[in-house]
Structure 1
């Protein structure tokens, strides 16, 4: 026993000298009411509209970290602040074990969690690490789109994406954020010219370099973007060629470090604030760290144990769809999915061959707690892509099956703009070919987006023209008109910050609803029926 204690003390003395990664969680925020009163200080109008359309109220997670807490941590000798998360009210820091532990004495620090889990279990709560680099009047429009897909034909037609494109659902009006390793050549290469000419690259950020140069880094992100937004006639057409994109770098190719998880969460928070609809990420985290003490295990894949999976779940709770690659460890001794593919809310995507057979490298499920993972599959072997020089190339990995799927998510959401992110996710899963008999290798299988589109066709007798809430503006009441065939009517009014202020159920056609209890101002409303949903703004004079 004495020998064991001396070894333990020696271990502690060594850790006290080495540099560690940790998350420091705070127990409060500041000036909450001021942010709730003026939500545009936290989110742009498109982000607020996305919340209102899905009945998602602002909450504590949306409030920024107290800057005084950040400055006090930064001023601590021996501590370097690497990243921050308002959602988790935490900072990612690096420093010696002793310096980090000392932060627990600050009255605003709730807890400290080391990336090296052994330090949490023997001395100090959380875990983290990384795997890395897998690396209505008429529904059918008169003018159909028929792309010359070229060699990219199979990866789109496998998902029946061509049928969706033919109905003019090509991602237009939707915004996708790509979280990856770099995007060199996107500003110059020909397959991205269509995006550039139509101002579809909305911006981005390099979280690793802490600068605006996102046309840098590894070409992995360039390949990923090409699978969604690339366009070269008769050679390559992405699954969402008319979507808009933000490009975020969170992957540091010089090392494998847990800070990359924190960069990822920062990027997801930025995506939320910018009104993004879909997050696509081909990064995964399990093992292979520069410091093996930071490696994760299959037992960590429980849906929200890691910092990045917590962040991915929160991203979904803000109204976005999060699509991530399942991983390329199918032939390894540990073949299971990593984080954030294990997260409860994400759509994790495995890889199949052109013949719809699982690619041997594709990571398998289930999650450690027994949930179906991966969620769905798409072509991830011999995918047709563009490199940074504009050459049309072929590459394999769930890194590409994920974004191929993310592009289709944007297209189907364009077709059903009033659906919530959960409804879009459910629609995709239920259209998949193994939905009734999922397996650890395929999850729910390969989605059929044409089937999803057909099953969920809007009611031709319930269009925006048939459902009305008027007068607008109004002084005291509104009248709601809708076809008598529509049932289970309900209207909810929200303030500009997303708080529910009035609700009326069991609506009947031409029903009047009094707004006299509401103060003058702008409000959002959401009308729900058994087969139809409509949202909008109304002004109370």
Structure 2
């Protein structure tokens, strides 16, 4: 009797304290018998999601139909089965079981296509004290005279302040933030306006399903403030008037493959809720259990679960931004999944002088594609702490949302365009578009140029003058010149008529060290419609181009 009790106690102890349950991926053959129909998408997608698809002429497909609930119910009826994740896009579920004898019974079901064993999650013993990011935060004095506070440079590098100046601050755009948790958000000083206007429209926890996303990591809070902060003089983010979905797919205490399945589920939720833009400041290469590790050859955009999911998410009409990774100085060095995705924008990190950060992960992908796609400031950038103060920190976790917020404002200003067109404009506007590499990708985008591209009016002055672009052309009451100036200087602007007579002349002081913009309006431009020759001289560099005043 004592031996029997010991065996029983040992079994219970192994289950409760030592052995992780076995994990399996159950794939279904079809979605037959579903009560839903592709003719009635409003029954399984939000109105916003349906409108986004229709606007971009994206057809509904069987991927969009929910998993057959009857199939799922039969799987969950087996003893000791626990649902961990599900995906309508892949038509499968991840389950945990202690009694593996039920697996063959599942395989025998006529609606089950396949049952595969997944590597089980092995948790760290010191998980409560584990911080996978190990961020260094440098405290900053809060108040400055600038509207953006100390965050001005990181938005100005991309030209995002121009979009704000002309009224595009993300209003009406829905951004999904998929991250590890959002500690401090409900009472965050910089997010008071967002909260007061109910612009955090939904939140979900896909890790433990308890929907308590505010009690875990603060990593998502840092990311969110880079877009949503709105405390003038302290910090204003890149999309301060946007609305947000806060979704937790990452367990900050562990690193295991199941998190990629959680991410896909979160991306499906974002799609169904009607998100326009998705930011993910996460990436996966190596796991707590080394048997789960990815290899460099996996980074082909078609192998890892999360990268395949990102490909689908974009095809549903969402614009995805993802951190490239912080492995530039490690043995791995390369980007992480899903930054290798075929359709998303992988964002690297540069410093304030536009030099690639040493930690920023490099490309290319395993199949030879250029990565990262674009870069934004990610070294010593200003973030909002969970307590409402500001700090400076490093990481592509931060360059990605900075660009994502600007991208949302760009799309707001060009709402008739598709996600593919917005992405293409961002890529085409970047400063290394003619000479991309595996450090910077296509470089740092300039959304002033991207905006003009989307309006069909952007031009570069000439191949010999890649430092200058202008638009729109033809123009009405304003002409925007974007330039690359390495030092403070003066710009001399002259307009001549077609006979060479000087019509307008003006001088403008330029900032240094950035691609920035020069707005010509009022007395700077000719008063009458017609064709003119614009002569622009900056730092001894001159160019001429024909422009038309309507």
Report what 1:104 is aligned to.
Answer: 107
User: CA shift at 1:458, angstroms?
Assistant: 6.1
Total equivalences in the alignment: 422
Report what 1:277 is aligned to.
Answer: 276
Once the two structures are superposed, the pairs formed by residues 307-456 of structure 1 within 5 Å of their partners are 307-456=305-454
1-structure distance, mates of 2:276, 2:451: 19
User: CA shift at 1:456, angstroms?
Assistant: 3.1
**Contact 1:350 1:442 (8 Å CA) reproduced:** yes
Helix, strand or coil: the match of 2:392?
A: strand
2-structure distance, mates of 1:329, 1:99: 41
**Contact 1:364 1:440 (8 Å CA) reproduced:** yes
Which among 58, 61, 73 is matched to residue 59 of structure 1? 61
Helix, strand or coil: the match of 1:187?
A: helix
Call closer, same or farther: CA 1:353–1:255 in 2, change over 3 Å: same
User: Which structure 1 residue ranges, 5 or more long, are not aligned?
Assistant: 1-16, 118-130, 136-145, 463-541
TM (normalized to structure 2)?
Answer: 0.73
**Contact 2:146 2:152 (8 Å CA) reproduced:** no
**Contact 2:170 2:408 (8 Å CA) reproduced:** yes
Call closer, same or farther: CA 1:79–1:32 in 2, change over 3 Å: closer
Report what 1:38 is aligned to.
Answer: 40
CA shift digits 1:266-298 (9 cap, x unpaired):
1111111111100111011110x2221111111
User: CA shift at 1:73, angstroms?
Assistant: 1.7
Call closer, same or farther: CA 1:408–1:113 in 2, change over 3 Å: farther
2-structure distance, mates of 1:60, 1:431: 36
Report what 2:493 is aligned to.
Answer: none
User: CA shift at 1:101, angstroms?
Assistant: 6.0
CA shift digits 1:328-350 (9 cap, x unpaired):
11111111111111110111101
Residue 228 in structure 1 maps to residue 230 in structure 2:
no
**Contact 1:177 1:280 (8 Å CA) reproduced:** yes
**Contact 2:378 2:399 (8 Å CA) reproduced:** yes
User: CA shift at 1:94, angstroms?
Assistant: 2.7
Report what 2:94 is aligned to.
Answer: 92
**Contact 2:328 2:361 (8 Å CA) reproduced:** yes
Helix, strand or coil: the match of 1:405?
A: helix
Call closer, same or farther: CA 1:405–1:22 in 2, change over 3 Å: farther
**Contact 2:422 2:454 (8 Å CA) reproduced:** no
1-structure distance, mates of 2:451, 2:146: 19
1-structure distance, mates of 2:249, 2:234: 30
Call closer, same or farther: CA 1:309–1:22 in 2, change over 3 Å: farther
1-structure distance, mates of 2:424, 2:311: 16
Call closer, same or farther: CA 1:100–1:284 in 2, change over 3 Å: farther
Call closer, same or farther: CA 1:19–1:102 in 2, change over 3 Å: farther
**Contact 1:132 1:286 (8 Å CA) reproduced:** no
**Contact 2:317 2:418 (8 Å CA) reproduced:** yes
Once the two structures are superposed, the pairs formed by residues 111-126 of structure 1 within 5 Å of their partners are 111-116=114-119
CA shift digits 1:64-122 (9 cap, x unpaired):
101122122222335432110001101012346765466333322222344449xxxxx
Residue 214 in structure 1 maps to residue 213 in structure 2:
yes
2-structure distance, mates of 1:262, 1:208: 10
Call closer, same or farther: CA 1:304–1:282 in 2, change over 3 Å: same
1-structure distance, mates of 2:304, 2:133: 17
User: CA shift at 1:18, angstroms?
Assistant: 7.0
**Contact 1:280 1:323 (8 Å CA) reproduced:** yes
**Contact 1:200 1:245 (8 Å CA) reproduced:** yes
User: CA shift at 1:184, angstroms?
Assistant: 1.5
Once the two structures are superposed, the pairs formed by residues 247-286 of structure 1 within 5 Å of their partners are 247-286=246-285
2-structure distance, mates of 1:62, 1:312: 15
Call closer, same or farther: CA 1:95–1:212 in 2, change over 3 Å: closer
2-structure distance, mates of 1:389, 1:192: 11
Helix, strand or coil: the match of 1:433?
A: coil
2-structure distance, mates of 1:284, 1:449: 26
User: CA shift at 1:178, angstroms?
Assistant: 0.2
Once the two structures are superposed, the pairs formed by residues 467-506 of structure 1 within 5 Å of their partners are none
**Contact 2:36 2:44 (8 Å CA) reproduced:** no
Report what 1:246 is aligned to.
Answer: 245
CA shift digits 1:289-320 (9 cap, x unpaired):
22211111111111021111111111111100
Report what 1:70 is aligned to.
Answer: 72
Helix, strand or coil: the match of 2:214?
A: coil
**Contact 2:350 2:375 (8 Å CA) reproduced:** yes
TM (normalized to structure 1)?
Answer: 0.74
2-structure distance, mates of 1:305, 1:133: 25
Helix, strand or coil: the match of 2:349?
A: strand
Helix, strand or coil: the match of 1:22?
A: strand
1-structure distance, mates of 2:103, 2:302: 24
**Contact 1:133 1:284 (8 Å CA) reproduced:** no
**Contact 1:134 1:327 (8 Å CA) reproduced:** no
1-structure distance, mates of 2:118, 2:352: 39
Call closer, same or farther: CA 1:310–1:274 in 2, change over 3 Å: same
CA shift digits 1:233-271 (9 cap, x unpaired):
122110000110010111112322222111111111111
User: CA shift at 1:33, angstroms?
Assistant: 7.1
**Contact 2:36 2:65 (8 Å CA) reproduced:** no
1-structure distance, mates of 2:233, 2:338: 35
**Contact 2:380 2:393 (8 Å CA) reproduced:** yes
